[in-house]
Amino acid sequence: MIRLTIDRAREILDAAGDVAVLVVGDLMLDRYLRGSVDRISPEAPVPVVRVAGEGATAGGAANVAANVVALGARCRIVGCVGEDAGADELARELEGLGVETAGLVRVAERPTTVKTRVMAMHQQIVRFDHESDDDVDDRTALRLVAAMESAAEGSRAIVLEDYNKGVLVPSVVRATLERAVAMGVPTIVDPKRWRFFEFTGATVFKPNARELAEAMGEPVRPEDEAWLEEARLRVAAEHLLVTLGAAGMVLQGPDGHVLRIPTVARQVYDVSGAGDTVTAVTAVALAGGATPAEAAVLANHAAAVVVGKSGVHPASYEELLRQVERAAPDNEAHAKP
């Protein structure tokens, strides 16, 4: 049984305030047009949205970075953007959050990934994606590796955040993982299907249940320790952290140690961005000296915070500590050797 007290949670997060986390991966700008619908277009059977406001937030790997700085840690980010207005807007958004953006690699031949959502009465009407999901070319990969090498200096944890948008090609993945090993810092991988088995050697490999099932070619069996151990060995990670939605999480570690972490969410309004939050909090906690088990339990609390909000919003330092305190004395996870 793992019990995370409020004092220990505060100790971990306070230590994280003195460290930097590097996030490498697919950057996005999430743009929103919000309004109301009161009629159908005479031109086609579609709703007419009267736009009342608009805004943009950091998405993809950039949302992981937003979650890192919300907890008080420093964050450096490496990724690919275009030479366009979307890149400028994303850079401004990140800089406004306090994220270090020297690692943004601008490529004229690729657009910045921008996802524009049209919302009416809290419902998404349609989404427009401007993006290229082709792998970056060799020259761009070399620029990304150089940016990573520079940003890694002094970092205490490294995140690889994959959204299948072409940044985490094998050369970038391998260089980043090797750099982390050389520095002796933990790596946290949030994978997607295309290169699920490329991230060998990660400290924490964090798929959700659907992603793991697709990669393994069979349903996830979170109650089966032997199956979880087989999955951990397949991805060649020190720890396998599987998020299970309403069922919480399960952490499979070396030597068959299993930690089952039940959900502590009381209300679920919106699960958008929860996976990014879990990745970020795991990284921040490990950078702050937490064990993988403590990091997973703390990340589970952070997920409870963000799913209780409407829209994509990080969990702040204060919100996370309040959640840990509110959950006591039920704040525990169960380990089985």
Residues carrying an active site annotation: 276
Tally the C-alpha atoms within 13 A of residue 146's C-alpha that lie toward its C-beta.
7
The sheet carrying 239-243 orders its strands as 2-3, 332-336, 258-261, 249-252, 239-243, 204-205, 187-190, 157-161, 20-25, 74-82, 100-107
Residue 79 and residue 82: Cα distance in Å, rounded? 10
Distances (CA, A) of 190 to 5, 23, 160, 162, 300: 27, 11, 6, 6, 15
| DSSP characters over 208-237 | BHHHHHHHHTS---TT-HHHHHHHHHHHT-
Residue 165 and residue 78: Cα distance in Å, rounded? 14
Locate 88 and state its tokens: 């400028």
